[in-house]
Structure 1
Amino acid sequence: MSNEILSVLEYMEKEKGISREDMIQTISSAIRNAAQKGVNAGQELKVEINPKNGALKAWAELAVVDSVSDPACEIHIEKATLYKEDAVIGDIVFREVDPAFLGRIAAQTARQAIMQRIRQFEKERIFDDYKDQVGDIVSGIVRRRERGDLIVDLGKAEAILPPRERVPGEDYAPGERIRCLLLKIDTTPRGPELVLSRASLNFVRRLFELEVTEIADGTVSLEGMAREPGYRSKIAVQSKDPKVDPVGACVGARGARVKSIVRELGGEKIDIIKYDANPIALLEEAIKPAIPRNIRMDEEHRRIYFEVDEEDLSIAIGRRGQNAKLTSKLLGWRLDIGKLKVQEQGFDEKRQEAILTLAERTGLAVPRAAVLVDHGLNNIEAFVGVDAEDLVDMGLNEEEAGKVIAKVAESMAG
């Protein structure tokens, strides 16, 4: 048995990383407990394993008495001197027990204890190995599907990608490589459980930090982010260095950086805009190419009302309202979007406006200016080639006609 124990100790130390002292304590404790419940029931035992050769030794703990009532845990004073020369009543002496007499149950229990310790150690190791990687991107291979969860092999441990943390439309088959955010480590009765995410906003954040050097070194900062997984992400960035264009840094040469991130996200659109502390300026950037007009702010309730042209309304709102929702999240303000009302002037309104303008420019009374407008002279430019006689023919008297021609000449000269 000593050779078997030595082999176990060496294997655990080299392959599993469990210290020899730890395994010796686990095995000896398991053997002692099993033996005390089995053939040596009611007897206190002391078990030791030699760490160098794996030799197992066991002793029965016996109380020294002058009258033995329970031989399993007591020894007479006369016999006690065989194990301890100066033994007196009340002492504890140790009588060596042949390990073979500990029984088959003890050996079987030792094996179970070893397997249990391995499982416990692996659980502890999983937590220790990954506790500092929470919030980072990890890579693994999809192994199988269990109750809707994807099981991903990270190398040292398996993790789960729950349905709620997956991007709509994405599907992975066993054997495919996948990159995810290590979202958290849950404590369960089965041990630590690694939970992954591809739908988290921080997944996009970490991709930018890995792909864009300026973000990694702190030159460019991500000031605001909003995401609708699988559809679109909006990111507001600013630069601490005036020489560095934050949007250009994130996009990269010929869009290389942002294209790499878009590929990782399965084609999800990414809008990168320059951050501005003024919410209206940020709104104008975020809502492009639509142009917000008639903007009103309700700072108390953090609401912004604005209007856009009718042809821009669908752009501003987006499919199923997602563009407006993302812009609202990015700004931290609730948005109320309306359609810009364009009032079309009817013929009468246009005629009246022309009459009033002509009256003001020529000095004619409104009814007399109406006569000229009704003859087609609805603005100063229309008088080119017209003389006083023509105006008289239209119904003005000679004095009125002369004054109008003079006023028109003055306006055109000015």
Structure 2
Amino acid sequence: MAVSANRLELVQIADAVAREKNIDRRIVIEAMADAISKAARARYGQETNIRTEINPQSGEIKLQRLLEVVEDVEDYHTQIQLGDARERQPDAEVGMFIAEQLPPMDFGRIAAQSAKQVIVQKVREAERDRQFEEYKDRVGEIVNGSVKRVEYGNVIVDLGRGEGIIRRDEGIPRELYKYGDRIRAYVYDVRREQRGPQVFLSRSHPQFMAKLFQMEVPEIYDGIIEIRAVARDPGSRAKIAVISRDSSIDPVGACVGMRGSRVQAVVGELSGEKIDIIPWSPDAASFIVNALQPAEVAKVVLDEDANRIEVVVPDDQQSLAIGRRGQNVRLASQLTGWAIDILTEEKESERRQAEFQERSELFMEALDVDEMVGQVLASEGFTSIEEVAYVEPEEISEIDGFDAETAEEIQTRAREYLERIEGELDEKRRELGVEDELRDIPGLTSAMMVAVGEKDEVKTMEDFAGYAVDDLTGWRERKDGETIIYEGTLSDFGVSAEEAEAMIMHARQAVGWVTEEEEAEGDAGAEAEAEEASV
């Protein structure tokens, strides 16, 4: 049987659209069939159930009306009586569908336009699905493209088989693009949205620089050198921490390359962004000292509970350590994950002297001793009255100029002072209405009870059970590269997160919110999750 020209044309159109849009040919054929069905319903009635079949080789079109077999016909457009159905198909049963051939039809202008819209819509949906499927697995990769247009600072990039967008805040400042410019960017997200899949690109993302180094440094690509952390001030300066798995390979030298060729290739792609390559160290203090390069560091003091570090630098190194507008210390903080305080040697010495004087005066007032005794205790490393009261007597009696009798007298005065302060705090607690039952919470002192009563008006065990750990210990948030510290009710008492959680859980058990079994199950679940995360 000869195939008519218009049928061949239908198959050719399907092939052309499939190639142009890079989608499956079957999807185009199905879209055409849906379009013809819609046009046929415009002629035979919208309620008619019409099925269209297109032969993918010959282009031959078959139109069929589907009728449901029923006992009693209510709608002759969609149903057929069982007896009539068995005349056409002897094995027909109620619930089956009988196909009735329809004659070929010529489409009017409106029907053809409607069919075209259906095809366009179906093809567009298939194209969007194809683009999403292609790019959803490419998150974390670098892609190349050309600038298609620039809208309000956002750069639309033609990726060849799709489009991506570099939003204004994901570009490198002062970079200007025009139509046709070649561009390289990092795919950081792909989302399905109402207007189609969106491929979000970035040139300011820290991992963009990491991926560029991976492309330029074979040792990183092979896994011999690992990038542990990246911090960027896009277009200005960046720090990257690297470590080598092979002790014979210098990670910094490998990343710099012969005469700086490798790092300069990355700098050129990032519009001249200065890059500090830093050796990573498992020792936090050493890593932070490295991260503050090129500044020299005299001393560091770590506070692991607060995740904070104090760095002492020579007076002439302060501006270099902080950097222009705080850039150097900010990037070092981002790189290491520690909050960094910069102090000069002079300021640190002044602070030590002030702390020494403060402790001396505390001992003089609390223990009723002269200035010399107060200063001796402070110089021996005692920082609080509690330490003086409860250390072994020998630690005091062994101090030059002190004997056993003097040590005993000092400790007696220290304990009397603490008892007096405890009595005053207990009286204040009662005035605030904080109930005695809170004394049963392990680790909760009278001073802490006064604090929760004053700051949060917590008075009962049930009130205390409503706390979250952060309410007591405080928390940190990263914002614009800065670490913002929010104080908790018990921050001044040095309460750790574990201690705060134990206090809260004791209160919740006391008021019956949880049982010991439920707490044990929760701890077991947390341990299992931690083990899974570490695997």
| TM-score (norm: length of structure 1) | 0.74
Looking at structure 2, the residues matched to 88 and 337 of structure 1 have their Cα atoms a distance apart, in angstroms, of 88
**Range that drifts further, 90-99 or 323-332:** 90-99
Question: In the alignment, which residue of structure 1 is the partner of 2:141?
Answer: 136
Inter-CA distance 203–92: structure 2 relative to 1 (3 Å threshold): closer
**Range that drifts further, 288-297 or 96-105:** 96-105
Question: In the alignment, which residue of structure 2 is the partner of 1:240?
Answer: 245
Shift of 1:252: 0.3
Q: Deviations over 1:90-145 (max 9, x none)?
A: 78654432221665544333322221122112111111222222111111111211
User: Which runs of 5 or more residues in structure 1 are unaligned?
Assistant: 344-414
Shift of 1:147: 3.4
Question: In the alignment, which residue of structure 1 is the partner of 2:322?
Answer: 317
Looking at structure 1, the residues matched to 194 and 327 of structure 2 have their Cα atoms a distance apart, in angstroms, of 40
Inter-CA distance 79–311: structure 2 relative to 1 (3 Å threshold): closer
Looking at structure 2, the residues matched to 156 and 220 of structure 1 have their Cα atoms a distance apart, in angstroms, of 34
User: Which runs of 5 or more residues in structure 2 are unaligned?
Assistant: 1-5, 349-535
1:119 aligns with 2:101: no
Native 8 Å contact 1:30 1:106 kept in 2: no
Q: What SS class does the counterpart of residue 346 from structure 2 fall into?
A: coil
Native 8 Å contact 1:40 1:102 kept in 2: no
Looking at structure 2, the residues matched to 276 and 76 of structure 1 have their Cα atoms a distance apart, in angstroms, of 83
Native 8 Å contact 2:308 2:340 kept in 1: yes
Native 8 Å contact 1:39 1:103 kept in 2: no
Shift of 1:319: 0.7
Question: In the alignment, which residue of structure 1 is the partner of 2:171?
Answer: 166
Q: What SS class does the counterpart of residue 301 from structure 1 fall into?
A: coil
1:84 aligns with 2:88: yes
Native 8 Å contact 1:31 1:109 kept in 2: no
Question: In the alignment, which residue of structure 1 is the partner of 2:337?
Answer: 332
Question: In the alignment, which residue of structure 2 is the partner of 1:205?
Answer: 210
1:187 aligns with 2:178: no
**Range that drifts further, 116-125 or 30-39:** 30-39
Native 8 Å contact 2:149 2:156 kept in 1: yes
**Range that drifts further, 12-21 or 23-32:** 12-21
1:24 aligns with 2:29: yes
Question: In the alignment, which residue of structure 1 is the partner of 2:452?
Answer: none
Percent of paired sites with the same residue: 40
Native 8 Å contact 1:233 1:326 kept in 2: yes
Shift of 1:196: 0.5
Looking at structure 2, the residues matched to 268 and 323 of structure 1 have their Cα atoms a distance apart, in angstroms, of 14
Question: In the alignment, which residue of structure 2 is the partner of 1:348?
Answer: none
**Range that drifts further, 272-281 or 201-210:** 272-281
Looking at structure 1, the residues matched to 219 and 91 of structure 2 have their Cα atoms a distance apart, in angstroms, of 79
Question: In the alignment, which residue of structure 1 is the partner of 2:307?
Answer: 302
Q: 1:48 aligns with which of 50, 53, 69?
A: 53
Between the two proteins, the alignment pairs up a number of residues equal to 342
Question: In the alignment, which residue of structure 1 is the partner of 2:182?
Answer: 177
Inter-CA distance 257–97: structure 2 relative to 1 (3 Å threshold): same
Question: In the alignment, which residue of structure 1 is the partner of 2:13?
Answer: 8
Native 8 Å contact 1:46 1:59 kept in 2: yes
Shift of 1:342: 9.1
**Range that drifts further, 238-247 or 249-258:** 238-247
Which structure's residues are more often helix, by fraction?
Answer: 2
**Range that drifts further, 50-59 or 97-106:** 97-106
Q: Deviations over 1:13-72 (max 9, x none)?
A: 444444444333332233223432444344333322222211212233457899998664
CA RMSD of aligned residues (A): 3.1
Looking at structure 1, the residues matched to 10 and 266 of structure 2 have their Cα atoms a distance apart, in angstroms, of 53
Native 8 Å contact 1:140 1:155 kept in 2: yes
Which structure's residues are more often strand, by fraction?
Answer: 1
Looking at structure 2, the residues matched to 88 and 248 of structure 1 have their Cα atoms a distance apart, in angstroms, of 81
More RCO (CA 8 Å, sep 6+): 1
Inter-CA distance 41–183: structure 2 relative to 1 (3 Å threshold): closer
Native 8 Å contact 1:77 1:87 kept in 2: no
Inter-CA distance 53–337: structure 2 relative to 1 (3 Å threshold): same
| TM-score (norm: length of structure 2) | 0.58
Native 8 Å contact 1:184 1:194 kept in 2: yes
Looking at structure 2, the residues matched to 68 and 307 of structure 1 have their Cα atoms a distance apart, in angstroms, of 93
Native 8 Å contact 2:42 2:111 kept in 1: no
